[in-house]
Structure 1
Amino acid sequence: MSVPLLSGKVFLLVTGASQGIGKQITESFATLLGNGSVVLLIARNKNALKETAQKLPKSLSVHTASMDLSVATADELKDVVCKALGSESATQFEKAVIVHNAGSLGDVSKPANDMKDFEIWRNYYNLNVFSPAILNGVFMELFNKETKVTRLVVNITSLCGIQPCKSLAYYCTGKAAREMFFKVFAIENPQVNVLNYSPGPVETDMQEVLRNNLGDADGKKTFNDIKASGSVLTTEQTINRLMEILKLQNYKSGDHVDYYDKQDLKQ
């Protein structure tokens, strides 16, 4: 599949690249990048990151950074990106792409009334809202409009960011806040292409947690029924759809686009 936004010499940064959707994004996007492109993968699991990196084309310069994004400072994040750039100037790239995929469900066993611990809320938002916002700012500082580089921001969001689900107050509010940040970023930066992509129900560790541990019985049954009906998507299915959406570009920058949205019908 040809995707102009991912062609040529690209600097690609993917968070949460060690497993699941992030791993698939990395592997699928990497096949489209031109020779000499630089790929930076960030996640906590060092060994899993290396496994992802080893699967990428040898024509790419691949860098990994094992770090906990929930406690990383802006300076630390900038250092990681600068190390990946090395002697390369940001102006040497045709495209700069950042995929904000890293995130967590949080405790899915409790109703909203039982979520009374400030520290748990702070830790959740540090990883799921604050770190992508800060990393995005660092990325845009390095690949600013003066570089003349085409910039693409993909935020992996969820239907839960626009639709409430019982026992998922951490996840729903985190996704909503994160998505709204990128919507604001999009209208403030019209020269940047921004997509909030909702990947649908994908067979990942998160889906297993929802099927086994969700506190709301009806919701738990729904997730198990989705699995039983064979409706759970593979990571390859949802990322192929993401690439199709990026190829067609029939969305307004900042839009929430779901796997099931018929973007190809929007002319």
Structure 2
Amino acid sequence: MDLKQRTYLLVTGASRGIGREFAQQLAKRFRAEGSVVTLLGRNQALLEETKAEIVATVPSLPVHTYSLELEMAKAEDFSKILEATGGGSSSFERAIVIHNAGTVGDTSKRAKEIGDTDYLQSYYHSNVFSAISLNCEFMRVFQAIPKLVVNLSTLAAIAPISSMAHYCTVKAAREMYFRVLATEESADDTLVLNYAPGVIDTQMTVQVQREAHDPAVVAMFREQRESKTMLTPGQTTERFIKVLEAFKFKSGDHVDYRDEKF
């Protein structure tokens, strides 16, 4: 994975947490003139903070920010953003998209209590449909060059966790989409990685600890936070970059932070 090539990078959920850290750390490694970074998120002010930190390190790197509500985003929104930030240019040697944005959903309800279809439609649009739509436009715009497609996955995509029926189901659906993508596309053209970053000390885990109906889940998150065994965004980003550099995964693989071979 040569990050010194002229690269187009798009990161969703880039206003805070893992998304911000991924954008900052990858941007630092871009050395080729003509590279571009595009940041998507809900909070424009926080996106500007992410941009400022990148520009402070790499002043010559163009960084674009777009505030977007994913629960309402459509294919044409993503198409406009990609084209406005130079996505149609033939000068890039590689394009990277990191599908990081996601929400944990209502952890106060048991699986048998999830029946509000209006809520489900909004939640799935934010967490699954928008990622698929963005990826479709990304594949179309960058069809002529090698692509790295990263889905921020989780243990919850492959193992059930009490209190997290919403989160488990959208993460499982999203990961399966990207595994199918990897099956259908040549790895020389489109390399797909489902990266599970581990349990991170972020607002999402704070929300689970505060709202989960299962006392065992609450206790697990509280213990990890109090014992400071939760990972930081910086730690998981460092491992992610090592995974890319080691390149021991096959396209479509689910790679966890704690996988020893990396």
Fold match (TM-score > 0.5): yes
Between the two proteins, the alignment pairs up a number of residues equal to 256
CA deviation string 1:209-231 (max 9, x = no partner): 11221111111111112122321
In 2, Cα distance between the equivalents of 1:5 and 1:135? 24
* The one of 159, 177, 185 aligned to 2:173: 177
Across the aligned residues of Structure 1 and Structure 2, the Cα RMSD in angstroms comes to: 1.1
Which one-letter code corresponds to 1:141 in the other structure?
A: R
Counterpart in the other structure of 2:253: 255
The match for 2:238 is: 240
Where does 1:1-267 land on structure 2 (aligned, <5 Å)?
4-34=1-31, 35-56=33-54, 57-85=58-86, 89-144=88-143, 147=144, 149-190=145-186, 191-264=189-262
State the Cα distance separating 1:6 from its structure 2 match: 2.2
Identify unmatched segments of 5+ residues in structure 2: none
Runs of 4+ in 1 over 4 A off after TM superposition: none
Letter in 2 for 1:100: H
Aligned partners of 2:215 and 2:51: how far apart in 1? 39
| Cα deviation digits, residues 154-180 of structure 1 (max 9, x gap) | 100110000101110000000000000
For 1:73-129, what per-residue CA distance to the aligned partner results, in whole angstroms no more than 9, with x for missing partners?
1111100110011xx743210110000000000111110111110011111100111
Partners of 2:88 and 2:75 in 1: CA distance: 20
| Normalised TM-score (structure 1) | 0.93
Contact 2:34 2:92 (C-alpha < 8 Å) held by counterparts = no
Identity over aligned pairs, percent? 40
The unaligned stretches of length 5 or more in structure 1 are: none
Letter in 2 for 1:212: R
Kindly indicate whether the alpha-carbon contact (under 8 Å) linking 2:88 and 2:141 is maintained by their aligned counterparts in 1: no
Do the aligned residues in 2 keep the contact of 1:90 with 1:142 (CA within 8 Å)?
A: no
